[in-house]
Every structure is written in C-alpha cells, then in structure tokens.
Chain A
Amino acid sequence: MKGKQMFKRGMIFFTAFAMVFSLIGIAHAKKPIKIGAVYIMSGFAATYGKFAKNGLTLAVEEINKSGGILGRPLKVSFEDSRAKPPVALRAFRKFVYEDKVDVLVGLDSSGVAKSVVPALTELKTPLIITHAATPDVTGKQCNKYAFRVSANLSQNVQVAAHIAAKTGARKWTTIGPDYAFGHQSWEYFQKYLKALNPKATFMTTTAFPKIATEDYTPYITTIMNAKPDGVLISLWSGDLINFIRQAKKLGFFKAKFKVLMTLGAATEVLYALKDQMPTGIWVGTRYWFLANHSPVNKRFIKAYKKKYHVYPSYNAQNAYAAAYVLKAAYEKAGKVDKEALVKALEGLTVDVPVGKITIRAGDHQALLDVSWGKTAADPKYPIRILKPIVTFKGSEITPKVSETGCKRK
C-alpha cells in the first residue's frame, strides 16, 4: 500500500517536474534573437536610417512569419547614431552590455564606421555593416567581428573607372563632398582609371564643397570653366539633389564632358527629382532594383512596394539582406552564439535581392555584383530608370585580400 502510494506521488511529482521543465524549454526556444541596429535617424541624412529600418523591419517580419531562425523569433531595436562616432559607440555599448544583443547591424557614415569598428574587439560582438562604404573597415582596420554585406567604395569606384575608360575621355576632374568619402572616391578613381587607361590625366582643379552645402553654383561654374573631358561626382542624397538641380540650370549636363555619378541611382534622389533628373548620365548605386530578375529580388521588390509604396532603395536592400545573411549564418552554425556566428559568416554565400553574395573569409567584405547604368525615362516608372544596365561581377571589381591592407591572419 505504502509503496504504491509513494509510487503514485512520485509519478505526480515527476510529471509536474517534467511539465515545468518542458515549459521552461519552450520558453527558452521562444527567446528571441536580439539584433541591435544603429543608423542615422535624424538630421540631414535621416532618410538613410529610415530606409534601413524599412528594409530590416520587412526582413524580420518575413523571417518571423516563416518560423524565425532555429525556431527563435528575431527582435530588432534601433538607435540613432546622429552621424556622430561617440553617439554610435554609446549605442553599441548599450546594446551589448545592457540589452545583451546577439548581433549588431548598421552604420551609414564611413566616419562613424572607422571609429566604431576598432571597438568591436572589446565588445566581442559581430557587426554587420550595411552601408558605410569606406574600404578601411574591411581593409587596414579589419578585425574578427566586422563584416560588410554591402558594396564598398572601392568596388563602386572600380566600376566607375571601367565606364570612364570606355568613354574615352582623357582629362578628368571631380566634385565630391569634403570628407573622407569624397577624397577617397577621387583617389581610388585615379588609381583604377590610370591602370585601365594609362593616357588618362587628372586635373588639379577639383571641387570639394563641404557636406550639406546648399549653393553649388560657384563650384559648378568653376568646374565647367576648367573644361574637363569627364567629371566624377561623388556627392550623395540631398547634396546630390541640390547639385543636379543647380547644375542643370547652368547647362552642366549639356556641356561636352562626360558625367559619372557614383551614387546617382539612389532612389531617394530619383524620387525627389523625378523627371528633373537628366537622362543619358552614367550613374551608380549599391543596389539597383531592376538589375536582376531573380525570384528573391522579385519577391523583395513586391513586398517592399506593398508595404512602403515605393521601389526599394539600396540602403533598404542592404539592411534587408543583412537579416537573411544572419539567418543563413545561424542555420549554418546550428546555434546562436557570437563566436560561432563569426565562423559561420566567413565564406558564407547567401542569395539576397542584389544577387548571390559571398562574404570573404580574409577581410569579411562581401563579393557582390555592382550595377551602373545610364539614366533613362520610362512611362512605366514614376522615376528615371537605368538603361542600359552594366553589371560587374564582385570577383572582377574587388581587390585581392592581400591588397586591401587587411592583416587579420
């Protein structure tokens, strides 16, 4: 009798125990994977942060709807970098030490990226860069935790140099923003174009207006007066919009020289200018939504357009891609762990809207296709589109790891 009762109690106890544990187990499996995202959410470049948030939010919703990653949902929090290195670093520290995020995503400004990347070795948390384009963070500053899934400056400018070489224009100058991005664009352009066309020359009359300049007319007239054969323009976003409108009035696009705009195909520029965007100009971007017709890209464009009513910008794609890169990496690793994630990301190939991208193990830079094109009008679209489009393979336009200055191994 007694033994039987003991057995019965034991059974109840055991069952209760098991139930509690399985509940904990379920709760554990449901614990979200936390992503801390830092972008520019205020000020003159706030539109970049907005796009990144759109792209990342869409991807997270899609992934969570289809069961999450390894059965766990994704949870993403956003912080504003205000384009300031100390602010971004503080946000990253908060994410890692207080919120205990599993991975970091973000960064628009190259200046911010350059000062934040060295701190990653202290934070011991992987960061997926989706926009900041300075070659240095996957070059001489590279470290174990810094990854980039978007095209960098040197890849984009390499394409510019190929196109510049084909135009036959010999005497080149530039108009670019007066900080690292503008100066590095010009420096890499000279290096790459010289290699492709030894006859190319580079003028001493260049224009580097300060960032957020409102009036470009003096720069435009100075460059026009210098009579170059070709002009490389690395202005972006609001600055580029101001520049194009003022340049158009001064006859800049009707002059004899060739014009290349490294970020002219950014959708925020095309949407703002609509039919004011001159046609027949070579423009670049870091993702052009019509450059490929893969199922992944088509699905992305459709979902993005449905949710936000505009065609996706490159920054939206880049952030969207980051979420799917993380999904692939966690699934490859089979667990959610920072060190395992680093290992899994190295050499990983993922199919994202921009195309198949491969993260190089050597410097953590993604090899990806970069498309440029000539602006053209098309009644089917509310904005200028690119026609023809030229696409260069990532392997053609990315310097070898040994040439990037990355000495991690």
Chain B
Amino acid sequence: MSLFFMNLLNGLSLGMLLFLISIGLTIIFGVLGVLNFAHGSLYMLGAYFCFQSVSLFHNFWLALLISPLLVAVLGGIIEMSILRPVYGRDVSFQLLLTFGVLLVLDDAVRLIWGSGYHIVNPPALLNGVVHVAGFTYPVYSLFILGLGPLIGVGLWAFFRLTLWGKKIRAASMDREMAAGIGINVNRLFTGVFFFGTWLAGMGGALATPLRAIGPSMGEKIIIESFIVVVIGGLGSFPGAFLGAIILGLINAYGAEYLPRMTMALPYILLALILLTKPRGLLAREV
C-alpha cells in the first residue's frame, strides 16, 4: 500500500514537470499553429543557464528568475527573425526551421559547456526530505508537485479572465479578423512565443535539482512532451494537464507492475488514443 502511495507521488511530480514543459508547446501550437521541435532544446538551455547562473551567483532562486527569461528572449528573437517570414508558407517550412534550431542549439550547448554532466543542488529551503509511510521523500519533488497546478490555474485565469488572454484567444481563432479589429498580431505572436519558451526554460531550470544536465536532455523531453499533448489534445490546456498526469502515472506504476513494458506503454497509449480519439482526450472545440 505504501509503495502504491509512493508511486502515486512519483507519478504526479513527474507529471507536473512534464505539464510545465508541454504547456509551452501546446500554447505555441494553439495560438501560432507552430509545432515547435526546438522546445526540448529550449528546455535544455534553461537547465544549462540555470546551472551557469547557480555557479556564478550561488543562488538558486535568482537562477530560477534569470534563466527562463534568457531563454524567452532567445525564443522571441527566433520567432521574429526566422519564424515570422514563413507563417504564410506551408507548415513543413516551420517544422524544418524549428528542427534546424534544435540542431543548432544542441551543438551550441556542446560547444559552450562540453559533453560532460553537471548537477545543481536544490535550494537549502527545499533540500530536505520528509518521511511518508516509511519512506523518505524529497521536499523538492513535493514543491514541483504543488507548483504545477498553481501555474496551471494561473494560466487558465490569464487566458479566460484578462483582456490580453482574450486577445490571444481571438488571434488564435482567426488571425485576420483579430488584425482587422485592431490587435497587433505580430507583436502578440512574439509575445506568445516568448511566453511559451519562457515556460520551456522554466521547466529546464526547475528540473536541474532532479536531473543531471547533459547534452541531448532536450531530445528526451521533446518526445515525452509530444506524447503528452497528443494524448491531451494539441492546443488544449486541460488536455496537457491530463496528458501529463497520465504519462507520469504510467511511468510510475509501469515500473512497479509491468517493469518489462515501461518502454512501450506510453507508445501503446499514444497509438490507442490516435485510433479512438485522434484529436486527443480533451481536444479544443473547433
């Protein structure tokens, strides 16, 4: 029973981290219609920036503030300089472009920080462990567990209740109409891309106390994020939340009950969803 409970915690905290990363992916897709392959690399960049800031300033919270911002600035530049010119063209242009960005970022990271591994310690406040049901459990994982829903609710409120949120939703529904009623769509798109990549950078920075920082950490996360958003429904907010929790729990309970199957489980689920509900569990109404 205690193991069941532990794996519930494991699955949920993994799910929340996945949620933070996939939500950026899904926002960018939902609003801009761009499937951003470089999202995982931006996540990785967030982790490296966080590692660099922590080694410079010895303050995790400061690093958590700075590194996602730096990633987001880079995201904004990417959107303005290379994505904007291809909005009118075929989708494959965007896919190729973001894939190109992925390759450039991956190699840049290796050039700058080398191919070795680095770690970042959790801040002193969250470095401890709590005793649950005969196990010890890291406080930092509980922190992630709590942070996920908070950010989720915050984003939901932003999109539903604020004027900016409404403008963004309007632009995502009909770009030309939004421009027609006086919304500066270009600036809005840059803002959304900035924000989406900020979330990726945030995910990367938040992951550093849990995971080793190394080259290609972005490749692993982008696959998981894609599964999350496809399960939940591309562009759907609650969908990303649901998808992330499902994938987190599959990983946790898979390891306990079907250890020989864990590699295949997410893909089996993905195939099932695509067969039965190809638009995802909580697809946006069109």
A interface residues, Cβ below 8 angstroms from B: 42-44, 46-47, 49-50, 178, 206-210, 212, 214-215, 217-219, 221-222, 224-225, 237-238, 241-242, 245-246, 249-251, 268-269, 271-273, 276
B209 — nearest CB in chain A belongs to which residue? Answer: A245
Given A44-B214, A238-B212, A238-B214, the answer on whether A250 and B136 have CB atoms closer than 8 Å is yes
Find out whether the CB atom of B118 lies under 8 angstroms from the CB atom of A272. Answer: yes
Which residues of chain B have C-beta atoms less than 8 A from A222's C-beta? 3, 7, 255-256, 259
Query: In whole angstroms, what is the CA distance A206 to B259 when docked?
Result: 8
Find A245's partner among B2, B210, B221 (CB 8 Å cutoff). B210
Find out whether the CB atom of A215 lies under 8 angstroms from the CB atom of B263. Answer: no
B10 at the A interface (CB under 8 A): yes
Given A42-B110, A50-B114, A272-B212, the answer on whether A221 and B119 have CB atoms closer than 8 Å is no
Query: In whole angstroms, what is the CA distance A251 to B133 when docked?
Result: 13
B interface residues, Cβ below 8 angstroms from A: 2-3, 6-7, 10-11, 13-14, 110, 114-119, 121, 129, 135-138, 140-141, 207, 210-212, 214-217, 219-221, 251-256, 259-260, 262-263
Given A214-B211, A221-B135, A251-B129, the answer on whether A47 and B115 have CB atoms closer than 8 Å is yes
Query: In whole angstroms, what is the CA distance A364 to B130 when docked?
Result: 53
10 extra interface residue pairs, beta carbon distance < 8 Å, beyond A44-B220, A218-B252, A221-B7:
A42-B215, A46-B115, A46-B216, A206-B259, A219-B255, A225-B6, A250-B135, A250-B136, A272-B116, A272-B212
Which residues of chain A have C-beta atoms less than 8 A from B137's C-beta? 249-250
Which residues of chain A have C-beta atoms less than 8 A from B110's C-beta? 42, 46
Find A268's partner among B116, B135, B262 (CB 8 Å cutoff). B116
Which residues of chain A have C-beta atoms less than 8 A from B217's C-beta? 44, 214
Find out whether the CB atom of B119 lies under 8 angstroms from the CB atom of A43. Answer: no
The number of residue pairs between A and B whose CB atoms lie closer than 8 Å in the complex comes to 120
Query: In whole angstroms, what is the CA distance A42 to B107 when docked?
Result: 9
Find out whether the CB atom of A215 lies under 8 angstroms from the CB atom of B251. Answer: yes
Which residues of chain A have C-beta atoms less than 8 A from B140's C-beta? 249
Query: In whole angstroms, what is the CA distance A44 to B215 when docked?
Result: 6
Which residues of chain B have C-beta atoms less than 8 A from A46's C-beta? 110, 115, 215-216
Most buried by B among A50, A217, A241, A272: A217
Given A218-B251, A221-B7, A241-B212, the answer on whether A209 and B262 have CB atoms closer than 8 Å is yes
Given A212-B220, A238-B212, the answer on whether A50 and B115 have CB atoms closer than 8 Å is yes
- Separation in Å of the B123 CB from the closest CB of chain A? 14
Find out whether the CB atom of A218 lies under 8 angstroms from the CB atom of B253. Answer: yes
